[in-house]
């Protein structure tokens, strides 16, 4: 009879220890976010509501990361970050006059911190749980399909004027927006449909224009972005 309480105590202590271990593993990602990312990224919302707040933004908003990014891309990018916005978050702060036209002032642009594989995984897991804006995305809004690169490029450049702000390959295209040659690998298709339809629904002050694209054009542009990513992976 004497042994029973002992066993119970050991069992209770064991369970407590087990759940402490579990909580630590789960908290790691959040701790990393708080200590290493929150200084530059908005993790809780809302998006900037004034131009001043837009200009002061140090990194892209991540409070709807789970509706925006592809997890696999994020986990890989965080280990080996490449530049997405050729002239940084705020174009005007990172250009200087060049002989022919404005040039990017590389000295003013910092490299993004790189994470270990374990940290990248932990952080991606918690970021993918941030799902603000779910009201704006419809699962299955994008229907997979194809487009020729010449038709896609014509839409992106001539008809819709997207090329003025976005690079479709390194060194070709505008510099004020994010490059789009990895957008298909980086961003969820249903998010792209939603964002291209109404960028200001996600980011009220963004310079990305609402081009009032038709449903057909939205689908075609996402086919094209996917094609660009496939080509840039080759």
The binding site for ligand HEC (CB under 6 A) comprises 32, 36-37, 39-41, 58-60, 74, 78, 83-85, 89, 112-113, 115, 123, 160-162, 164-166, 176-178, 180, 183, 186-187, 192, 195-196, 206-209, 211, 221
- Nearer to ligand HEC by C-beta: 89 or 103? 89
Structure tokens belonging to residue 161: 């004027």
Q: How far is the CB of 58 from ligand HEC (least distance, A)?
A: 5
Minimum distance of ligand HEC from residue 136's CB (angstroms): 14
From its phi and psi, is residue 74 left (phi > 0), alpha (psi between -120 and 50) or beta?
alpha
Least distance (Å) between residue 1 CB and ligand HEC: 55
Cβ-based nearer residue to ligand HEC, 12 or 169: 169
Task: Please report how close the Cβ of residue 32 comes to ligand HEC at its closest, in angstroms.
Answer: 6
Q: Which is nearer to ligand HEC, 14 or 209 (CB)?
A: 209
207 three-state secondary structure: coil
- φ/ψ of 202, rounded to 5, equals -90, -40
Contacts of residue 59, defined as CB under 8 A and 6 or more positions apart, other chains included, come to: 40, 41, 89
How many CA atoms lie less than 13 Å away from 217 in the CB half-sphere?
13
Residue 68 tokens, joined: 């925006």
Determine contact, residues 40/59, Cβ cutoff 8 Å.
yes
The CA distance from 39 to 57, in Å, is: 10
Which of residues 172 and 207 has its CB atom nearest to ligand HEC in the complex?
207
- 28 vs 103, which CB is nearer to ligand HEC? 28
The nearest distance, CB 17 to ligand HEC, in angstroms, is 29
């Amino acid at each position: 009879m004497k042994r029973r309480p002992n066993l119970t105590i050991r069992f209770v202590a064991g369970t407590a220890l087990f759940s402490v271990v579990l909580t630590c593993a789960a908290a790691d990602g959040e701790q990393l976010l708080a200590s290493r990312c929150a200084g530059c990224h908005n993790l809780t919302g809302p998006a900037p509501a004034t131009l001043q707040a837009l200009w002061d933004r140090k990194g892209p908003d991540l409070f709807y990361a789970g509706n925006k990014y592809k997890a696999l891309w994020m986990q890989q990018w965080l280990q080996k970050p490449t530049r997405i916005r050729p002239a940084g978050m705020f174009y005007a702060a990172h250009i200087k006059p060049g002989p022919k036209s404005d040039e990017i002032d590389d000295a003013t642009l910092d490299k993004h911190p790189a994470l270990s594989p374990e940290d990248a995984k932990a952080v991606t897991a918690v970021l993918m749980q941030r799902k603000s804006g779910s009201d704006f995305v419809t699962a299955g809004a994008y229907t997979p399909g194809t487009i020729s690169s010449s038709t896609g490029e014509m839409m992106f450049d001539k008809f819709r004027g997207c090329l003025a702000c976005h690079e479709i390959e390194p060194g070709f295209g505008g510099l004020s927006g994010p490059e789009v040659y990895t957008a298909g690998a980086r961003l969820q298709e249903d998010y792209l449909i939603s964002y291209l339809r109404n960028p200001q629904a996600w980011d009220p002050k963004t310079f990305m224009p609402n081009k009032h694209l038709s449903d057909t054009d939205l689908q075609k542009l996402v086919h094209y972005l996917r094609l660009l990513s496939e080509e840039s992976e080759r």
